[in-house]
Amino acid sequence: MAEPILSVRGLETFFRADEGTVRAVDGASFDLHPGQTLGIVGESGCGKSVTARSILRIVERPGRVEGGEVLLRRADGSVVDVVKLPADGREIREIRGGDVGYVFQEPMSSLSSYHTIGNQLVEAVRLHSSATKAEARARAIELLRMVGIPRPEQRVDSYSFELSGGLRQRVMIALALAAEPRVLIADEPTTALDVTTQAQILDLIRRIQRERNLAVILITHDMGVIAEMADTVAVMYLGKVVETGPVDAIFHAPRHPYTQSLLRSIPSVLAEPLSRLATISGSIPHPFARPPGCPFHPRCDRHIRGTCEAGAPPVVELAPGHEARCFLYADQAGGAR
């Protein structure tokens, strides 16, 4: 496959508090290729959003990116390690919005209610280009039309609270695309929306991706969305990527016990009536009390006593592009790292 546009290696983002350190992202690695969609999936609190925010270095205090590499190939072909850039420097600000657009989960509160959506769009356009006010406004209207907002000439002067949730999320997408980035991070873009609107927003993302050959990182806890949208999948658990692979392999031949349990817990219309939905036993451990060894072992149904709690499991390549971080496959670890 071609060179990845974004390559995350051993990313570590910690939240240091008086009570202890939360290792929100604890050595996550994955690659993103142009025109492809990477789905990051996992339960709430597993570090999906923090991973995505770490890529743009917009993690809220007291969170800090403390290790690893985020290698971004910029438009001119140069590769830059985002982790090494100063946090409010010129280059990282060019990358934010310019190279990587970000769509947030909460369309309700992610837009300022004191400024028109046009004001925010024009700002985003002008930050990354030399457009005049009038040009930027024309571009803003064009962006709104592109994301399917009716009567964009009028809507450009409205405020976010005058729009429905679906329209607001469309505005968020327009805002993320204002400076024509080559990577789009969509952080649970449909969680706050109703089902019909969800489908429309996903269609929109897919259409724009095709038109612009965008690389998309889609963060969700919804396996259905992953199945529909993703080319490759990274499954996260407690800050670690436990399994990555092509979407078909993940759905049809999941290898990590956590991925297997996640898939079992999806409700199916084919299920026996009145049968119980499978759940993952236990709950996510307290952030200050991470289990030793493999973090999933207390909830794992294929727990190997004496091994899983003793040390960190190896990353095993099971097939080209399909890796799992588990002791079950340690003996196949020909290509283990």
Partner 1 sequence: MVTYILQRLGLALVTIWAISVVSFVIIQLPPGDFVDTYITNLASSGSAVGAAEAQALREQYGLDKPIWVQYAKWISQISRGDFGMSMEWGRPVLEVIGDRLWMTIVISLAAILITWGIALPIGIYSAVRQYSIADYIFTFVGFVGLAVPNFLLALIIMYFGFKLFDLNIGGLFSAEYQLAAWSWGKAWDMAKHLPLPATILALAGTAQLIRIMRANLLDELRRPYVTTARARGLAEWRVIMKYPVRAALNPFASTIGYLLPFVVSGSIVVSLVLSLPTVGPLLLRSLIAQDMFLAGSIVLLLGILTVIGTFISDLILMWIDPRIRAGMHG
Binding region for partner 1 (CB under 8 A): 53, 56, 58, 60, 88, 93-98, 102, 104-106, 109-116, 120, 123-124, 127-128, 159, 161-162, 172, 175-176, 178-179
Four-residue CA torsion sign, 201, 205, 206, 212 = positive
Least spacing, CB of residue 313 vs partner 1, in Å: 34
Query: Which two three-digit tokens encode residue 75?
Result: 């438009």
In the complex with partner 1, which residue's Cβ is closer, 101 or 257? 101
DSSP string for residues in 264-304: HTS--TTSPTTPPPP--SS-PPPTTSPPSSSTTGGG-TT--
CB nearer partner 1, residue 201 or residue 308: 201
Residue 115 or 303: the one with the smaller Cβ distance to partner 1 is: 115
Rounded CA-CA distance 315/333 in Å is 8
- Residue 123 or 231 having the CB closest to partner 1: 123
Task: Please report how close the Cβ of residue 80 comes to partner 1 at its closest, in angstroms.
Answer: 15
**Helix crossing, 165-177 with 117-127: angle to 10°?**
20
Residue 114: CB minimum distance to partner 1, A? 5
Q: How far is the CB of 175 from partner 1 (least distance, A)?
A: 7
The alpha-carbon radius of gyration of the chain (Å, integer) is: 21
Supply the minimum distance, in Å, between the C-beta of residue 135 and partner 1. Answer: 18
Q: Is 224 left (phi over 0), alpha (psi -120 to 50) or beta?
A: alpha
Taking the C-alpha atoms of residue 23 and residue 290, their distance in angstroms, rounded to an integer, is 9
| Residues 187 and 49 sit within 8 Å (Cβ to Cβ) | yes
- If the CB atoms of residues 102 and 258 are measured against partner 1, the closer one turns out to be 102
What is the nearest approach in angstroms of partner 1 to the Cβ of residue 97?
4
Nearer of residues 42 and 181 to partner 1, judged by Cβ: 181
